[in-house]
Amino acid sequence: MLPCLNKKLFGFECMGCGFQRSLSLIIHGEFVSAFYMYPAIYTLIPLTLFIIFNFFFKVKHSSKIINALAIASVIIIITSFIIKKIN
């Protein structure tokens, strides 16, 4: 796993910390653990797959779908980051 540069330099986790481990957990079939590690993984994966799919096959209203998934991802990332800091 790549180390978090933010954590090494400043001593605290960034908003992306946990993504690699969460992706690894999904690959190994541990879906619930992946959610607890990084909840936004379940919006980022469909967002990435949809952007790739839309690159090859144009989808009607794709910008609305991409915007909705991106906004949901950002909200989840910020919310989970705040919850981690509180706990």
Provide mean pLDDT across the span 5-9: 86
Cα distance between residue 31 and residue 67, in whole Å? 25
Q: What is the CA radius of gyration of the chain?
A: 15
pLDDT over 90 (residue 47): yes
Query: DSSP of 65-78, one letter per residue?
Result: HHHHHHHHHHHHHH
Cα distance between residue 86 and residue 80, in whole Å? 10
Cα distance between residue 25 and residue 43, in whole Å? 16
| Residue range 69-79, pLDDT digits in tens | 999 999 999 99
